Chains A and B, each alone.
Chain A
Amino acid sequence: MRPFNYLRAQSPAEAASLSAQVHGSRFIAGGTNLLDLMKLDIETPTQLIDVNHLALDRIEATPEGGLRIGALVRNTDLAADPRIRKDYAVLARALLAGASGQLRNMATTAGNLLQRTRCPYFYDTHQACNKRQPGSGCAAIGGFSRQLGIIGVSDACIATHPSDMAVAMRALDAQVETVRPDGTTRVIAITDLHRLPGNTPNIETALAPHELITAVTLPAPIGGTHIYQKVRDRASYAFALVSVAAVIQQDGSGRVALGGVAPKPWRVESAETAMAKGAKALSEQLLAGATPTHENAFKLTLVERTLASVMAQARAQA
């Protein structure tokens, strides 16, 4: 690992300001992804700004009837919060389907959103990767692509976003609150947070340099049956091949977002009217324009079957 300076910020605005002062600064919270990547020389910060002491570790009610989740709330605590378990169960389920108990005890809400892809070619510094080294090419295309993306991908990158939590938050229409080095704040809809790779897969989010996430807000509860179904190569502690976050109402209408298939949580609101027609119609509309490789084309079928399973569970629980 390369040497770096370490300092602790006293406020979110100060953290963003400190970051802007030194080239190569990065925020560190849980550190579970950043340190992993620093050991591999994929992340090479010259300065780490520890944000763990900022008072961003609370979950509080909003005037709109929703919840405001501090950026530093640990995944374990978010999944265990009684309000999340009761009113946003799809989020609790998604969190519990991700990582291990040890990692969930460290990983934070904002860090989970900003974790990097687990594409094996991103991780191997001897391979071409446009995300890691722009312009070097993409060794994943034509390579071992079984785990990788089938939609929203580009000729430059077929990596997926690895988060489970973010998929549930997409289904729940979460919003992301941030602060910038000049102290100004803004709100970003979760659908706009992660961007598609296009020709610049190295630019992964709508965040400006040095912009710090301070909270994620959830709108008021929408009721319905909450299901997060994750299909993976082993029963626990593995990334998704395909996952479905769904909130389905008594009348069969609802929302679905997909994980494991795209560079961002994949939701197509206009496709959700197809829910009444069944999993096949819904799957076809969600994945219209998909460009799978021969190794991951099975995900098209897997999405349809996972949607069928989720819709059957919702009917049984309604």
Chain B
Amino acid sequence: MLDVMTISRRELLIVGVVTAAAVILPPFISAQASAANAAQPVKTKLSIWVNDARQEMEFDTRTTLLDLLREHLQLTGTKKGCDHGQCGACTVIVDGRRINSCLTLAVMHEGAKVTTIEGLGTPDQLHPMQAAFIKHDGYQCGYCTPGQICSAVAVLGEIRDGIPSHASPNLTEPPRLIASELQERMSGNICRCGAYSNIIAAITEVAEASA
């Protein structure tokens, strides 16, 4: 009894989760899948560039790029929203392209160059997109904001590169820097506070300043 009393709340919660998982098996898990469940975690090594710093990492193969950034490198600016590629809160820029860091394994990015919100700007030296989000109130709670800003920076690059979108009226002409284009291109970043119009205003200002 005393032993039970001395374990921390966190340990108790972990024990509770393990017990529940062992007792309540989902009804449609196959026997094959259950057998695989007994497999031991597999470690792997990786060299990756994050915000211009080279990192030599060792981690479980199951680690997503998002978890590598947050849990192994303590770069918690990148947020875990849905963890299924539906919300965009985890958006980072890898080798110049914005991706959902939750839907890619870290081990798949040997030698890659990753830019997170921490690499775009600092509190003293804001990236123009960060400054514009502040100026235009492009957020309320702020949880989706790092993903919104990484996505927005990459969106302007995609428009500069002539990559078309669903909102482009003509596939053979360069896309234009107009609200409908920005809205379509930002549709993978959800904002539950509904700051969309201010986000578009912020991106538009940066686009016009750099045009």
- Chain B residues with CB under 8 Å of chain A are 26-30, 32-33, 36-37, 39-42, 44, 60-62, 64, 83-85, 88, 91, 97-100, 102-105, 107-108, 151, 154-155, 158, 161-166, 168, 171-172, 183-189
Contacts and interface: CB of A to CB of B under 8 A. Distances in A.
Contacts of A6: 42, 44, 61, 105, 107
Interface in A215-262: 235-237
Contacts, number: 145
Interface string A105-145: 11000000000000000000111110011001000000000
Given A125-B28, A128-B28, A102 B100 contact: yes
A103 B155 contact: no
Identify which of B64, B165, B166 gathers the most chain A CB atoms within 10 Å of its CB: B166
B99 A39 contact: no
A103 B172 contact: no
A35 B83 CA distance: 10
Contacts of B64: 35
Contacts of B28: 125-129, 132-133, 136
Contacts of A291: none
Interface of A: 1-6, 24, 28, 30-32, 35-36, 39, 41, 44, 46, 48, 50, 52, 76, 79-80, 85-86, 89, 92-93, 96-97, 99-103, 105-106, 125-129, 132-133, 136, 235-237
A110 B42 CA distance: 27
Given A35-B104, A100-B88, A101-B185, 17 more contacts: A6-B61, A6-B105, A31-B103, A31-B108, A35-B103, A41-B26, A41-B29, A76-B163, A79-B164, A80-B162, A93-B171, A101-B98, A101-B158, A102-B151, A125-B27, A235-B187, A237-B188
18 contacts: A3-B39, A5-B61, A6-B42, A35-B103, A50-B108, A52-B108, A76-B163, A93-B171, A96-B168, A100-B188, A100-B189, A101-B155, A101-B165, A102-B91, A102-B151, A106-B99, A127-B28, A128-B28
A86 B173 CA distance: 11
Contact of B105 (A2, A35, A80, A85): A35
A126 B26 contact: yes
A128 B27 CA distance: 9
B42 A36 contact: no
A96 B108 contact: no
Contact of A4 (B62, B100, B162): B62
Contact of B172 (A3, A31, A85, A133): A85
A103 B100 contact: yes
Nearest to B167: A236
A6 B63 CA distance: 12
A31 B164 contact: no
A86 B171 CA distance: 8
Contact of A133 (B30, B39, B104, B158): B30
A272 B188 CA distance: 36
Contacts of B163: 76, 79-80
A236 B100 contact: no
B187 A236 contact: yes
Given A85-B171, A133-B30, A3 B40 contact: yes
A302 to B, nearest CB: 19
A279 B117 CA distance: 50
A103 B188 contact: yes
**Of A5, A35, A89, A127, which is in contact with the most chain B CB atoms at under 10 Å from its CB?**
A35
A96 B104 contact: no
B207 to A, nearest CB: 15
A3 B108 contact: no
Between B30, B98, B163, the greatest number of chain A beta carbons within 10 A of the residue's beta carbon is seen for B163
A101 B100 CA distance: 10
Contacts of B97: 76, 105
A136 B26 CA distance: 13
B166 A31 contact: no
Given A4-B42, A32-B100, A44 B164 contact: no
A269 B103 CA distance: 38
Given A85-B164, A101-B188, A103-B188, A3 B100 contact: no
Contacts of B62: 1-4
Contact of B164 (A30, A32, A80, A105): A80
